[in-house]
Structure 1
Amino acid sequence: MMKLINTIEIAPLKYSKETHELPESSDYPDPDEWFRKWEEAVSKLNIDFHAIQKDSYLVDIQTIDDENLQIILETNLKEINWAEFEDQIIAFGGGIVLKDDDEILIIPTCCGDIGNIKEWKKILDCKTLEWSEMWIGHPWIFYRKENGKVQFSDYSDVNLSELVDIKAVFEIDESELKNELEKVKQHQINFKNRISNILHKMNIKNAEKISKLMTGIE
């Protein structure tokens, strides 16, 4: 079954009040042993989270409780100049993850953020049968629609205009995508509302505006 997951990127050491070191993968040739050591180190930090897969800092926003969300907010906002907050606060890094039968097929890449959900919405509005680019960070991917299906390419660092023969690596039902997008859209709205409520409790002004900026909601 196909599923979309709305994620943000959480680098655990950023939220530690003490000095910690995470194990280097080069010290543990066995990836499973490295991951156990990594989880053990992370468990000693101030924030509790579970990444969607090994070697990832991407976390499903629905799994972050209010206590940990407040820690994230306090850390991200502690150096903000409130007179210029609209220019300094950006959306959380991360974005939409696509899973099918428990296999992750699309994951947001470098510089992708939670606001990139609008890129996924463009798929439903797309009228052409030609390949189109979807920004999920870099590298990015391409998609096209055909007979009720949405086909996706592999990741690419090359612009659409420079590619000659794009290959589809998998496809999903457009109707399933539409249903899943409605779900993650609501998850994002709920996440924005939770952030706004926590900011109010923290006595931070402009809580609603800040929550929209942090979640990429326009």
Structure 2
Amino acid sequence: MMKLINAIEIAPLRYPKETHELPEISDYPAPDEWFRKWEEAVSKLNIDFHAIQKDSYLVDIEVINDENLQIILETNLQEIDCEKFEDEMVAFDGGIVLKDDSQVLITPTCCGNIGNINEWQRILDNKTSDWSEMWIGHPWIFYRKENGKVQFSDYSDVNLSEFIHIKAIFEIDESELKNELEKVKQHQINFKNRISNILHKMNIKNAEKISKRMTGI
């Protein structure tokens, strides 16, 4: 079953109770052993961290409770001047994750943020059957629509105009994509509202505008 997840990237070492070090992959070459050690280290931090998959810092915004969300906000706000938020505030790193059953097929990449949900909406708005580029950070991916299906390429650092032969590696139903996209849009609005409420309780000026900027709305 296909599912979209609206996720943000949380680097756990930004939220320590005290100094901690995450285990090096080189010390634990077996992935399962490294991930177990990694989870042990993260459990000692302030924040309750459950990534969407191993070797990822992406967390579903729906599983972040208000206590942890406030810790994230307090840490992020230390780095900006709330009076100049329009110049300094950016959306959370992350974006849309596409899963099919238990397999993660697409994750946001470097420099992607949760405002990139608009790129997924463009798939539905696109009227052509040609390959098109979708920005999820870099590397990015390409997609095309055909017979009610949406086909996706592998990740690429090559621009669409320079790509000669694009290969589809999987496809999903366009109708399923539409239904899932409506869900994650609402999740993003709810997330924005939760952030705004917490910022108001923290007596942060421009709480509503900052929450919109943080969530890419």
TM category (shorter chain) comes to over 0.9
> Which residue of 2 is the match for residue 38 of structure 1?
38
User: Which residue is 1:57 aligned to?
Assistant: 57
Who is 2:126 aligned against? Answer: 126
2-structure distance, mates of 1:40, 1:59: 17
What does 1:39-118 align with in structure 2 at a 5 Å threshold?
39-118=39-118
Answering whether residue 212 of structure 2 is matched by residue 212 of structure 1, we say yes
Give the aligned residue type for 1:190. Answer: N
Moved more, 165-174 or 81-90: 81-90
Contact 2:89 2:210 in 1 (8 A): yes
Give how far 1:75 is off: 0.1
After superposition, the C-alpha distances for 1:33-92 in whole angstroms (9 at most, x for unaligned) are: 111100000000011110000000000000000000000000000131223111101000
5+ long unaligned stretches in structure 1: none
- In structure 1, the residue matched to 2:162 is 162
1:150 aligns to what? 150
Supply the distance in 2 between the matched residues of 1:31 and 1:91 (Cα, whole angstroms): 31
In 1, distance between residues paired with 2:207 and 2:83? Answer: 14
Separation (CA, whole Å) in 1 of partners of 2:42 and 2:63: 16
More divergent stretch after superposition (81-90 vs 5-14): 81-90
| Alignment-mate amino acid for residue 196 of structure 1 | S
Distance 2:69 2:207 in 1: 14
Identify the residue that residue 24 of structure 1 maps to in structure 2.
24
TM-score (normalised: structure 1)? 0.98
Matched, 1:174 2:174: yes
**Paired AA for residue 117 in structure 1:** I
Deviation of the 1:135 alpha carbon: 0.2
Structure 1 residue 17, shift from structure 2 partner: 3.8
CA displacement, residues 154-189 of structure 1 (integer Å, 9 cap, x when unaligned): 000000000111000000000000000000000000
Unaligned runs of 5+ in 2: none
Mean Cα displacement is larger for which, 15-24 or 139-148?
15-24
RMSD of equivalent CA atoms:
0.6
Q: Deviations over 1:167-216 (max 9, x none)?
A: 00000000000000000000000000000000000000111100000000
Q: What percent of counterpart residues are identical?
A: 85
Secondary structure class of the residue paired with 1:143: strand
